[in-house]
Amino acid sequence: MASTSSTFRITPSTAPLSAEQRQQQLQSIQFGRVFTDHMAVVSYRNGTWQDPEVKPYGPLSLSPASSVLHYGQAIFEGFKAYRQPDGSISLFRPDSNSERFNRSAARLAMPSIPQELFIGAAEALVAIDQAWVPSGSGESLYLRPFMIATDAFLGVRPSEEYLFLLIASPAGEYFPQGLKPVSVWASKEYVRAAPGGTGEAKCAGNYAASLLAQAEAKEHGCDQVIWLDAIEREVIEEMGGMNLFFVYRDGGAPVVVTPALTGTLLPGITRSTLLNVAGDLGYQAEERRLPLTQVLNDIASGAISEVFACGTAAVITPVGEIKGRGFAQTINNNENGPVAMALRTALLGIQRGTAPDTHGWLHPVALG
């Protein structure tokens, strides 16, 4: 698809960080706290998207009556720009994020945004802030597109005006102390998503509703929460804001199994990517219904050799222990497993351009 980053009016910052200040920020990257010099903004009014613009990063001015502040019409995405070995920059699967963004928009009764604008915003922002894309191992520029409802109206109905924004934050090695397994708490108190609800949409409210369960996990000494289905509180769905994989290994080649999409799971792009990468590595990959009781039995019997979570931010995180009321089960001696590590290395290689991009997942950015 033709690049339309040129349709964005560019207003360069008059006070960007100096090269030295930027270098300082990039030296000890704190994820999600530091943002690049610019942001992309597109407005939706009178039924159309208009005024695509890249301008200095800064506060928004909103009416206190803006409907997003009251009724929560807000969706977001997350994907990354990776520095390639030749110094160029590529986005990873931005088309998939664009498609998912529009599915989220549809669920929240928000307008869809053309893919040319969604990807064009990323291209224009990455081009002007290209010096912010780090090149170290495990480093990238995290891109955060989002859409909010801006009608200044307290009536409950879909807003008629919206803002689409894209901001960018340099991301360092997600595990500066080295990758080590997380512990997870299987919550039977709280659910993330129910059939017919918004579980498949990347909407802000899903995260607000997850915070108390995350706090419950912490109280039980766990790093993250595991979400079970809303009805039986038994079928495993996902972990915090990441999808889960279980490695079955009964003698032969590993089989990597992830919970099937039921409408209540967030369809992760890393999840779908890994189902392909697993095939590349000669593993069998399956999507299945995974009841907690069966998974715990399979871990205990050794049929499951590894569990790991995946998502854009951390790529792959091994899970070393599953706990819940009345049980605690260690996985793979609480160590990083070989299948998770092989998948992680293979995926990072494709993203960073050190392994061939056989699936056509990289989207090069014209740096101008």
Ligand X SMILES: *Cc1c(COP(=O)(O)O)cnc(C)c1O
As measured in angstroms, the least distance from the Cβ of 290 to ligand X is: 15
* Whole-angstrom distance, CA of residue 258 vs CA of residue 364: 30
Give the pair of three-digit tokens for residue 136.
Answer: 């170290």
Q: Does 26 bind ligand X (CB under 6 A)?
A: no
Which is nearer to ligand X, 67 or 258 (by Cβ)? 258
The backbone torsions φ and ψ at residue 183, rounded to the nearest 5 degrees and listed phi first, read: -105, 145
List, as one string, the DSSP characters of 171-226: E--S-TT----EEEEE-SS--S--TTSSTTS-BHHHHHHHHHHHHHHHHTT-SEEE
Q: Does 222 bind ligand X (CB under 6 A)?
A: no
Which is nearer to ligand X, 54 or 143 (by Cβ)? 143
Which is nearer to ligand X, 44 or 118 (by Cβ)? 118
Q: Does 181 bind ligand X (CB under 6 A)?
A: no
Considering only residues 247-266, where is the footprint of ligand X by CB under 6 A? 266
List of residues 6+ apart from 41 with CB closer than 8 A? 51, 52, 53, 54, 55, 163, 164, 165, 166
Which is nearer to ligand X, 98 or 243 (by Cβ)? 243
* Whole-angstrom distance, CA of residue 110 vs CA of residue 251: 49
As measured in angstroms, the least distance from the Cβ of 351 to ligand X is: 12
As measured in angstroms, the least distance from the Cβ of 78 to ligand X is: 6
Q: Does 270 bind ligand X (CB under 6 A)?
A: yes
As measured in angstroms, the least distance from the Cβ of 219 to ligand X is: 21
Give the pair of three-digit tokens for residue 191.
Answer: 């659910």
As measured in angstroms, the least distance from the Cβ of 146 to ligand X is: 12
Rg value, the chain, Cα: 21
Which is nearer to ligand X, 236 or 242 (by Cβ)? 242
Q: Does 184 bind ligand X (CB under 6 A)?
A: no
Give the residue ranges of DSSP H helices in the chain. 19-27, 67-71, 94-107, 115-128, 204-219, 269-280, 292-301, 338-351
Considering only residues 70-89, where is the footprint of ligand X by CB under 6 A? 78
As measured in angstroms, the least distance from the Cβ of 266 to ligand X is: 4
How far CA 222 is from CA of 179, 187, 192, 268, 306, in Å, comes to 16, 11, 17, 23, 18
How many beta carbons lie within 10 A of that of residue 145, not counting itself?
25
Q: Does 312 bind ligand X (CB under 6 A)?
A: yes
Q: How far is the first Cα of the chain from the last one, in angstroms, to the nearest whole number? A: 18
Give the pair of three-digit tokens for residue 33.
Answer: 């706290």
Considering only 145, 268, 324, 353, the residue that binds ligand X (CB under 6 A) is: 268
Strand partners, 285: 256
Q: Does 269 bind ligand X (CB under 6 A)?
A: yes
Which is nearer to ligand X, 238 or 306 (by Cβ)? 238
Q: Which stretch binds ligand X (CB under 6 A): 23-31, 248-256, 268-276, 298-306?
A: 268-276
Considering only 238, 306, 314, 344, the residue that binds ligand X (CB under 6 A) is: 238
Considering only 5, 104, 224, 243, the residue that binds ligand X (CB under 6 A) is: 243
Q: Does 223 bind ligand X (CB under 6 A)?
A: no
Query: Contact at 8 Å (CB) between 222 and 184?
Result: yes
- Applying CB under 6 A, the site for ligand X has a residue count of 13
Which is nearer to ligand X, 78 or 320 (by Cβ)? 78
Which is nearer to ligand X, 169 or 243 (by Cβ)? 243
Which is nearer to ligand X, 4 or 73 (by Cβ)? 73
Which residues sit at the interface with ligand X, rule CB under 6 A? 78, 202, 238, 241-243, 266, 268-271, 311-312
